[in-house]
Amino acid sequence: MIKRFFALAAAVLLFSGAQAQAQAQSKYPTEKEFFPAVYGAVAEVLPKAKYLNIDFYNNSFTLTGVTGGNIGGWFSFDVSIAMQDDGTINISHSNIYQRDPKTKMWKSATSFGFFFKPQKLYDDLRTKILQAANSDAAYERFKEEALSNLQFIYAIVQDFTELAFADFYKTYIVNSVFTITGRVSDVKEYGKAVNGKTYKYEVSLSQSLTNNAEDQYLSRMRGTELICDMYTNQDKVIRISKSAIATVRGKAVSASRRSGRLIMRLTDEE
């Protein structure tokens, strides 16, 4: 009887320990920032989804254009990913749309019905988030990619106050390297110093940061434009004509917002 009691007690302790370990593994390590792991998980699990809104300092991310389904019906919906103070990761959905099999158009729906269960998607996202957080190499790679993605950055700063925008720029954007492809408006001689180095030319171009989508579930995204001034000493930019589509790569030296636009100044890395 005594042996049976101790065996039972040991089993209870073992189960409790395993349960506590599983619970700890399901929580995000709160000493790490949340956004790199979310960015990496979304890029892998939901590569076609768009960031509708990011409440950066409250660790909350809302995506739109998330799709799923089967022969019973295809759905598109918003997904919210949020981390609580204790590291618990909450994932939920809203704004469901169903695709009409005949017209191929999306219409509002109240539920997924019996055809589609999003729980596996949420489990995959949570698993990928934790994997990214627990791999230093992956975490740092995703952090660099996130802070070089202007669409991602705009989703963060679109509702910032000027004070919050300035703080975010100093902490996360300055000296980040961006690749921008857009329509050239002008190429001019510059001949001035930027951060102690003199540049011969200024290339001005613009890039849309949101796609004009006809689908209803994406119509809530606010369109904006990136205005970029790129400073360089490469003589080849002389041959770029106005209205040409060009790609530039450079390091951020300033950023601001004006009339719903994101304004950035870059210096050529080369």
pLDDT digits (tens, 9 = 90+) for 89-141: 999 999 998 888 888 788 888 888 776 788 999 999 999 999 999 999 999 99
Q: Report the relative pairing of strands 197-208 and 89-99 from DSSP bridges.
A: unpaired
Q: Is the residue at 1 inside a domain?
A: no
Please answer whether residues 262 and 209 qualify as being in contact, where contact means their C-beta atoms are separated by less than 8 angstroms.
yes
Where does a domain end: 146, 178, 209? 146
Q: Is the residue at 237 inside a domain?
A: yes
Q: Is the residue at 51 inside a domain?
A: yes
Beta-carbon count within 10 A of 127 CB? 13
Length of the chain in residues, anyone?
270
State the total domains in the chain. 2
Instruction: List Cα–Cα distances, 107 to 75, 76, 94, 268, in angstroms.
Output: 9, 10, 14, 46
Where does a domain end: 146, 179, 209? 146
| Model pLDDT for residues 244-256, shown as the tens digit of each residue | 999 999 999 999 9
| Model pLDDT for residues 5-32, shown as the tens digit of each residue | 444 444 434 434 433 333 445 899 999 9
Beta-carbon count within 10 A of 192 CB? 11
| Model pLDDT for residues 201-214, shown as the tens digit of each residue | 999 999 988 755 54
Residues 164, 264 within the same domain: yes
Q: Is the residue at 85 inside a domain?
A: yes
Instruction: List Cα–Cα distances, 30 to 37, 133, 202, in angstroms.
Output: 12, 10, 43
Q: What's the rounded Cα separation, in Å, for the pair 63 and 52? A: 5
Q: Is the residue at 217 inside a domain?
A: yes
Q: What is the CATH number of the domain that holds 46?
A: 3.30.530
Please answer whether residues 208 and 225 qualify as being in contact, where contact means their C-beta atoms are separated by less than 8 angstroms.
yes
Residues 122, 191 within the same domain: no
Q: Is the residue at 140 inside a domain?
A: yes
- Please name the amino acid found at residue 29: P
- For residue 214, give every residue at least 6 positions away whose Cβ sits within 8 Å of its Cβ, in sequence order, or none: none
Put simply, whether the predicted model's pTM sits higher than 0.85 gets the answer: no
**Burial label, 238 (beta-carbon count in 10 A; 0-12, 13-18, 19+):** exposed
* Predicted pLDDT of residue 219: 61
Please answer whether residues 176 and 252 qualify as being in contact, where contact means their C-beta atoms are separated by less than 8 angstroms.
yes
Residues 79, 60 within the same domain: yes
Please answer whether residues 203 and 236 qualify as being in contact, where contact means their C-beta atoms are separated by less than 8 angstroms.
no
Q: What's the rounded Cα separation, in Å, for the pair 144 and 121? A: 25
Kind plus residue range of the DSSP H or E element containing 20: helix 2-25
Where does a domain end: 146, 178, 204? 146
Q: Comparing C-alpha atoms, which of 102, 43, 53 is closest to residue 74?
A: 102
Residues 68, 137 within the same domain: yes
Residues 50, 114 within the same domain: yes
Q: Comparing C-alpha atoms, which of 246, 244, 255, 249 is closest to residue 231?
A: 249
**Burial label, 66 (beta-carbon count in 10 A; 0-12, 13-18, 19+):** buried
Q: Is the residue at 136 inside a domain?
A: yes
Residues 49, 115 within the same domain: yes
Residues 225, 184 within the same domain: yes
Q: Which domain holds residue 61?
A: 25-146
Residues 128, 177 within the same domain: no
Q: What is the CATH number of the domain that holds 253?
A: 2.40.50
Residues 173, 194 within the same domain: yes
What is the 3-state secondary structure of 173-232? HCCCEEEEEEEEEEEEEEEEEECCEEEEEEEEEEEECCCCCCCHHHCCCCCCEEEEEEEE
| Model pLDDT for residues 67-84, shown as the tens digit of each residue | 887 666 788 899 999 999
Residues 137, 237 within the same domain: no
